[in-house]
């Protein structure tokens, strides 16, 4: 089997690869000056050839390296499966591809939160650093009653318990936190060097007048944007799976009351206050995700009595019974994912509470702080978003297989450049017209109108992003000749 695989790659990527630089058998004197083979003749040794496989490998590996290490998720719950942890991380990676500005805004919110708590606690507690602050806001400390976890602590809650003498302030060092992280400065530096090399290669191709593919332009845009995300999350630990327990002191065994009890079988069950003292039968779970009963399963931990596929089948059955087969399936495969997508967008911009989560913080959580940083972050985000969209406009006059693809690229690049400013403006207007400040009907109508317009523009933006992700791969079927030319960087290094 290994021999067959090697044989396949030998014939596909070997000397018989038809996707390399096409040869022109005309005499060199008759070739145009910008012809790829005339470039080889003028500056022999500085150029080589590459194939479509080389282009794909270079671009996709750079995008994957940037997005994979750029994602710094919050700490999962102790009962979360590896599949659930991986699913959240892949989801964030997908959001970086579709709505990178929202992920950037979420990273910026956590960055300012870490700055705030660093300045707040570094004078009171020796050794407190920005890494500690990031570890705190990603759910790094959990309140324990003996060996039983009670809930993950937010910053203000941990400060209140510490000042009341109910817990000890954590004494973990920065080195110990970094030891829990799966990433270090070396891995991040390697990725930054890889992206810098890729951007430098594209600039050099443009300087020599050699064609740059649309896929390479998209890769440059992602590399630039993820560089900003790296800046925000540089001190945030990467891929930490376990929080640090903070036990209640023995002098205060009953000072912290909570309505969460942990069943011996594993699932986290939440009881409302009115029945918190009643005895609940063992093994009771809520099999219907749409019915609100007095017993609710906390989705932050896995439920062994109901698999994910069973929950999906139950969801599909209830939807078809409620809306009919056709509309029910449409709700399952269209409206439900779209609703979750929109809710995640709102969480990236607004999530500041633990919500119904007990042993972990929400995926897009950022702590509330008592400083006004939104205006600065909005202006910075608008500048970065405009630069990100303008990078796609570099390919405005590139070679495209058809005229329709050229105009599709131009329209999508224009929308990606301009829509973020409009979306942020309407979201800001919606916050001004929020009915919490004024209960009048006029304010409610203005709030709903501005929020609906912002949501509609966000959907148009997503479709434009999808178009800019699909068009580069379609364009690979008919690249210009000089797109197969490869710079030979060794020839530019002085050597004997």
Closest Cα partner for 240 from 67, 64, 72? 72
Residue 363 has pLDDT above 60, yes or no: yes
- DSSP characters for 329-396? HHIIIIIHHHHHHHHHHHHHHH--S-TT-SSS--TT-----SS--HHHHHHHHHHHHHHHHHHHGGGG
In degrees to the nearest 10, what's the CA dihedral of 447, 382, 455, 465?
Answer: 180
Q: What is the pLDDT of residue 121?
A: 92
Torsion of CA 164, 167, 168, 170, to 10 degrees: -120
Contacts of 282 (CB under 8 A, 6+ apart): 263, 265
Q: Determine the Cα–Cα distance for residues 76 and 95; give it in Å rounded to an integer.
A: 19
Q: Please choose, from the candidates 122, 114, 109, the residue with its C-alpha nearest in 3D space to the C-alpha of residue 155.
A: 114
Q: Give the SS3 label for residue 487.
A: strand
User: Lowest-pLDDT range, 42-51, 182-191, 342-351, 424-433?
Assistant: 42-51
DSSP state of 251: T
pLDDT at 434: 64
Mean pLDDT, to the nearest integer, of 163-174?
90
Q: Rounded to an integer, what distance in angstroms lies between the CA atom of residue 342 and that of residue 326?
A: 23
Which runs of consecutive H residues, i.e. helices, occur in 164-246?
174-180, 185-207, 214-232
Quick one: average pLDDT of 64-81?
A: 86
Residue among 443, 442, 415, 421 nearest 430 (CA): 443
Task: Please give the mean pLDDT across all residues of the chain.
Answer: 76
Lookup result for tokens 């609710």: 296
Question: Which residues sit opposite 268 in a β-bridge?
Answer: 262
φ and ψ of 142, to 5 deg: -120, 135
Q: How far apart are CA 214 and CA 59, in angstroms?
A: 10
- For residue 386, the tally of other CB atoms under 10 A from its CB is 15
**Residue 281: pLDDT over 70:** no
User: Token match 């939807």: residue?
Assistant: 319
288-346, pLDDT tens digit by residue?
332 333 333 333 334 445 666 777 777 777 877 777 777 777 777 777 778 888 888 88
Give, in degrees to the nearest 5, the angle at Cα 153 between 148 and 156: 150
**CA torsion through residues 262, 263, 268, 274, sign:** negative
Question: Once rounded to an integer, what is the mean pLDDT over residues 237-259?
Answer: 73
Which range of 41-55, 313-327, 459-473 scores highest in mean pLDDT? It is 459-473
Backbone angles phi, psi at 152, to 5 degrees: -75, 140
What sections of 99-184 are H helices per DSSP?
100-121, 130-137, 155-163, 174-180
What average pLDDT score do residues 36-55 get? 65
Provide the β-strand partners of residue 47.
487
- Condensed to tens digits (0 to 9), the pLDDT of residues 369-414 reads 877 777 788 888 888 888 898 999 999 989 899 999 999 999 999 9
Q: What single-letter DSSP state applies at residue 72?
A: -
More confident residue, 139 or 317: 139
So what's the pLDDT on residue 433? 62
Instruction: Give me the pLDDT at residue 418, please.
Output: 87
What's the CA gap between 166 and 246, in Å, rounded? 10
Task: Give the residue-averaged pLDDT of 262-286.
Answer: 37
Average pLDDT over residues 204-228: 88
Over residues 94-101, mean pLDDT? 88
SS3 content of the chain, % helix, strand, coil (to 5): 60, 5, 35
pLDDT of 221-231, one tens digit each? Answer: 988 888 889 88
């Amino acid at each position: 089997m290994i021999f067959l695989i090697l044989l396949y790659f030998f014939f596909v990527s070997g000397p018989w690869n038809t996707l390399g630089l096409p040869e022109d058998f005309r005499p060199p004197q008759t070739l145009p000056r910008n012809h790829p083979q005339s470039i080889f003749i003028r500056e022999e040794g500085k150029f080589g050839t590459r194939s479509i496989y080389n282009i794909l490998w270079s671009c996709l590996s750079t995008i994957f390296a940037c997005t994979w290490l750029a994602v710094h998720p919050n700490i999962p719950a102790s009962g979360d499966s590896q599949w659930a942890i991986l699913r959240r991380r892949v989801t964030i990676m997908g959001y970086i591809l579709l709505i990178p500005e929202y992920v950037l805004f979420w990273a910026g919110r956590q960055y300012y939160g870490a700055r705030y708590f660093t300045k707040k606690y570094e004078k009171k507690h020796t050794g407190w650093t920005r890494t500690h602050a990031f570890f705190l806001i990603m759910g790094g400390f959990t309140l324990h009653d003996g060996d039983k976890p009670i809930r993950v602590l937010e910053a203000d809650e941990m400060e209140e318990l510490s000042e009341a003498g109910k817990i000890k302030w954590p004494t973990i060092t920065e080195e110990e936190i970094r030891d829990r992280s799966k990433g270090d400065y070396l891995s991040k530096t390697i990725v930054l060097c890889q992206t810098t090399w890729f951007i430098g290669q594209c600039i050099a191709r443009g300087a020599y007048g050699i064609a740059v593919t649309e896929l390479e332009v998209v890769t440059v845009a992602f590399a630039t944007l993820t560089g900003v995300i790296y800046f925000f999350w540089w001190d945030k630990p990467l891929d930490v799976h376990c929080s640090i327990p903070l036990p209640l002191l023995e002098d205060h065994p009953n000072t912290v009351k909570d309505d969460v009890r942990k069943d011996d079988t594993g699932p986290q069950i939440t009881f409302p206050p009115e029945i918190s003292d009643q005895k609940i039968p063992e093994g009771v779970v809520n099999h219907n995700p749409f019915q609100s009963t007095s017993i609710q399963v906390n989705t932050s931990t896995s439920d062994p009595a109901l698999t994910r596929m069973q929950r999906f089948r139950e969801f599909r059955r209830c939807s078809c019974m409620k809306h009919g087969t056709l509309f029910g399936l449409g709700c399952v495969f269209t409206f439900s994912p779209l609703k979750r997508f929109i809710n995640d967008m709102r969480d990236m911009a607004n999530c500041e509470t633990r919500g119904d989560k007990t042993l972990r913080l929400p995926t897009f959580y950022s702590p509330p702080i008592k400083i006004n940083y939104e205006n600065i972050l909005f202006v910075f985000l608008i500048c970065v978003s405009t630069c990100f969209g303008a990078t796609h406009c570099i390919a405005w006059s590139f070679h495209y297989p058809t005229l329709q693809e050229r105009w599709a690229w131009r329209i999508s690049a224009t929308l990606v450049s301009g829509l973020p400013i409009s979306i942020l403006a309407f979201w800001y207007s919606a916050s001004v017209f929020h009915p919490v400040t004024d209960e009048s009907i006029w304010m409610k109508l203005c709030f709903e109108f501005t929020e609906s317009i912002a949501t509609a523009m966000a959907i148009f933006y997503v479709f434009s992003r999808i178009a800019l992700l699909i068009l580069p791969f379609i364009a690979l079927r008919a690249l210009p000749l000089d797109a197969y030319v490869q710079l030979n960087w060794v020839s530019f290094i002085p050597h004997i």
